[in-house]
Structure 1
Amino acid sequence: MKVLLDLQYLNVATTGIKTYMMELANAALAHPHPDIEWVFSHDPETQSADQTFKGPQSKIQRLNYHMDYFRWKEFQLPDLIKNHKPDVLICPDFVSPVASLSCRRLTVIHDAFFWQMPENYPKWWRTYFLSLIRKGLKEDTEIITTTEYSRKSLYKYLKKIYPMTVIHQAPKKLTEGVDSSFLENNGLQNLHYFLHIGTFDKRKNLPLLVRSFADFLKKTDSNFKLVLAGGAGQSSQMNDKPVIDELVAELGLQEKVIVPGYVSDAQVRSLYENGFAYIFPSENEGFGIPIVEAMTFGLPVIHSDQPALMEVAGGAGLTVTTGDQQDLTEKMILLTSENSRVATMIKKGKEQSKKFSAQKFIEGFQNVILKN
């Protein structure tokens, strides 16, 4: 069985979807199946390192990227299929070619955000992208998604019922060495900071986290800090970074809230290994890979009661009501005052994280690929 994995989108992918694509490719190589031959459309590392369309861009550059993406999906990828003659095509970036193909399709749709939160996307772009998604869902398509929550959400919005399988993804391995100087340079002490890593998208509820942290400091007289690592939201509509900057200044938390921007893998590992707890107050997620990463490193996790996060945490985290500032503050205080609870959560978290291995990730795909 020959399988073609489309990795073209790695030239612009960031955060969650980049991790998904890289770990899928890595898992395919690390855990081969005797009945499956993998063909990659691009070398993962080379494509990921391509800077052609990354960074600040003009409207012309963005238009050039969309044209490049369209050419790939609708012309170059179908030609590649004709040359390699795969039995299965996997598109891990929502979109499969519109053209009729000679193979089965596995299209990964990570979440239903485009339908659930239209206000977070430029109207013309959302209309265009949803059109690409729908037109690529042909009769021979099976959808792969990340959680039961995402599966139920997609069934609500797709006009046609397609075969759909939930495959839990694996976290990034983060095998690089730690960057201890990063902690020192930011005035961070071991076990004395709360952590959040990810983009400043509005759905992450980071202003609420900052306000809850401010209340936590007032009520505990603590020397804890809060680290918000990651880049700006992925569009002007989605970006809460300016709101966070203004709020931190308004509350006088410039020395307490650390906003380092994008961080390297070594810096991420340093943050996980030395943090006190990870906080994930998001109002909507398709999966929530930082929960698995944090639990793997032995960080207790406080997360909202959003369904995907509840599913991934599996009862090993401390749950707060989504959007409830007071509840979040109280859970932060609770965690810092009960050492036995922290120890129990660390133990449960490490056990829960084992459910999301690279081998289980690729076995999910192997089972779908070989079932017919």
Structure 2
Amino acid sequence: MKVLLDLQYLNVATTGIKTYMLELAKAARKYPHPDIEWIFSHEPEKQAVDDSFKGTKSKIQKLNYHLDYFRWKEFQLPDLVKKFKPDVLICPDFVSPAASLPCRRLTVIHDAFFWQMPENYPRWWRKYFLNLIKKGLWEDTQIITTTEYSKNSLIEHLGNSWPISVVYQAPKGLTAAADTQCLRKLGLKKQEYFLHIGTFDRRKLLPLLVEAFAAFQNHSQSNKKLVLAGGPGQSKRMDDFPVVQKLVAELGLQDQILVPGYLSDGEIKSLYDGAFAYVFPSLNEGFGIPILESMGFGIPVIHSDQPALMEVAGGAGLPFQTGNRDDLTEKLILLDREKDLRSQLVTLGRERAKAFSAEKFIEAFHRIILNPTS
């Protein structure tokens, strides 16, 4: 059984989808199946560092990227199918070619954000991208998604025309050595900061976290800090980075809330190693990788009661009502005060993280590849 994995999108992918694609490729190599031959469209690590289209600013640059992506999906990828004659094509970035193909398709649609939150995307771009998605959903296609929540959301917006399977992904394998100077450079002490890692997309509700943290400090007189690591949102329409910066300044919390930007894997590993807790206030997620990364590091997690995060956490996190600043503040205070609760969450989290290994991730794909009805 020959399987072609489309890795073109790694040249611009960020955060969740990038992790998904890289970990899938790594797992395919680390845990080979005797009946499956994997073919990669690109060498994953090399494609991930290709910066030809990263950081595009001008309309011309963005147009060139979209043309390049369209050429790949509609012409170059079908040519690879003709060349390698795979039995299965996996497209892990929402879009499969509109061309007729002589093989099964497994198309990964990570979430239903394009349908659920249209206000977060430029109208013309959303219409164009949804058209690409729908044109690729035909012939012998099976949709793969990340959680039962995402599956139900996709059924609501796409109907039952295509079989949809849930495959739980593996968190990022942080193999780099921890940067031992990271905490010192940021002025942090172990167990003395709350952590969030990711883009400043509007749906992450990071201004809410800033406000809740300010209220937490007022109530508890704690010396703990808040670290918001990561870069701006993926578009001006979706970006809360300037909002957070302004809010931090207005609250006079520049010394207590750190916004260090993008960090290396070694620096991220160091932050996970030393954090008191991870806070994930998101309004909407398809999965929630940082929950598993945190639990794997033995860090308790406070998360919104958004369905996908509840599903991934599996009762091993401390939930608060989505969008409720006062409830989030109460959970920050509770975790800071109750040492036994923190210890309990650490134990539960470590056990929960074991259910999301790279081996289980690829085994789920193996079952679907070898048994189309699974």
TM-score tier (shorter)? over 0.9
Aligned to 1:81: 81
Aligned to 1:360: 360
For the residue of structure 2 that corresponds to 1:38, the secondary structure is strand
Question: May I ask how many residue pairs the two structures share in their alignment?
Answer: 372
Following superposition of structure 1 onto structure 2, how do residues 278-297 of structure 1 map, counting pairs within 5 Å?
278-297=278-297
User: Is the 8 Å Cα contact of residues 100 and 139 (structure 2) preserved in structure 1?
Assistant: no
Quick one: distance in 2 between partners of 1:242 and 1:41? 38
Aligned to 2:71: 71
Q: CA deviation at 1:161?
A: 2.2
Aligned to 1:199: 199
In the alignment, structure 1 residue 300 sits paired with structure 2 residue 300 = yes
User: Is the 8 Å Cα contact of residues 56 and 62 (structure 2) preserved in structure 1?
Assistant: no
Instruction: Encode CA deviations 1:89-114: one digit per residue, 9 max, x unaligned.
Output: 00000000000000000000000000
* Residue ranges of structure 2 left out of the alignment (5+ in a row): none
Aligned to 1:95: 95
Aligned to 1:127: 127
Q: CA deviation at 1:118?
A: 0.4
Quick one: distance in 1 between partners of 2:165 and 2:306? 21
Quick one: distance in 2 between partners of 1:159 and 1:170? 27
Q: CA deviation at 1:185?
A: 1.2
Aligned to 2:219: 219
Quick one: distance in 2 between partners of 1:199 and 1:164? 28
Which amino acid in structure 1 is aligned with residue 201 of structure 2? D
Instruction: Encode CA deviations 1:326-356: one digit per residue, 9 max, x unaligned.
Output: 1100110100111111111000000000010
Quick one: distance in 2 between partners of 1:161 and 1:251? 51
Quick one: distance in 2 between partners of 1:346 and 1:18? 27
User: Is the 8 Å Cα contact of residues 216 and 333 (structure 2) preserved in structure 1?
Assistant: yes
Instruction: Encode CA deviations 1:119-143: one digit per residue, 9 max, x unaligned.
Output: 1001100000000000000131000
Aligned to 2:149: 149
Instruction: Encode CA deviations 1:211-253: one digit per residue, 9 max, x unaligned.
Output: 0000000011111000000010001110000000000000000
Following superposition of structure 1 onto structure 2, how do residues 33-48 of structure 1 map, counting pairs within 5 Å?
33-48=33-48
Q: CA deviation at 1:160?
A: 4.9
Q: CA deviation at 1:180?
A: 2.2
Aligned to 1:317: 317
In the alignment, structure 1 residue 3 sits paired with structure 2 residue 41 = no
Q: CA deviation at 1:159?
A: 4.5
Quick one: distance in 2 between partners of 1:134 and 1:258? 41
Q: CA deviation at 1:57?
A: 2.3
Following superposition of structure 1 onto structure 2, how do residues 213-252 of structure 1 map, counting pairs within 5 Å?
213-252=213-252
Greater Cα shift, 42-51 or 153-162: 153-162
Greater Cα shift, 210-219 or 53-62: 53-62
Quick one: distance in 1 between partners of 2:240 and 2:49? 27
Which amino acid in structure 1 is aligned with residue 317 of structure 2? G
Quick one: distance in 2 between partners of 1:111 and 1:233? 17
Aligned to 1:170: 170
For the residue of structure 2 that corresponds to 1:270, the secondary structure is helix
Which amino acid in structure 2 is aligned with residue 360 of structure 1? K
For the residue of structure 1 that corresponds to 2:161, the secondary structure is coil
Instruction: Encode CA deviations 1:41-87: one digit per residue, 9 max, x unaligned.
Output: 00001111101000142111110000000000000000000000000
User: Is the 8 Å Cα contact of residues 92 and 109 (structure 2) preserved in structure 1?
Assistant: yes
Using structure 1 for the length normalisation, give the TM-score.
0.99
Quick one: distance in 1 between partners of 2:229 and 2:155? 33
Which amino acid in structure 2 is aligned with residue 121 of structure 1? Y
Quick one: distance in 1 between partners of 2:195 and 2:329? 14
For the residue of structure 2 that corresponds to 1:329, the secondary structure is helix
Quick one: distance in 2 between partners of 1:201 and 1:171? 20
Aligned to 2:351: 351
User: Is the 8 Å Cα contact of residues 106 and 143 (structure 2) preserved in structure 1?
Assistant: yes
Q: CA deviation at 1:181?
A: 1.4
For the residue of structure 2 that corresponds to 1:237, the secondary structure is helix
Instruction: Please give the root-mean-square deviation of Cα atoms over the aligned residues, in Å.
Output: 0.7
Using structure 2 for the length normalisation, give the TM-score.
0.99
For the residue of structure 2 that corresponds to 1:105, the secondary structure is strand
Aligned to 2:277: 277
User: Is the 8 Å Cα contact of residues 194 and 226 (structure 2) preserved in structure 1?
Assistant: yes
Instruction: Encode CA deviations 1:189-230: one digit per residue, 9 max, x unaligned.
Output: 100000000000010010000000000000111110000000
Quick one: distance in 2 between partners of 1:203 and 1:284? 6
Aligned to 2:189: 189
Quick one: distance in 1 between partners of 2:218 and 2:71? 55
Q: CA deviation at 1:282?
A: 0.4
Aligned to 2:136: 136
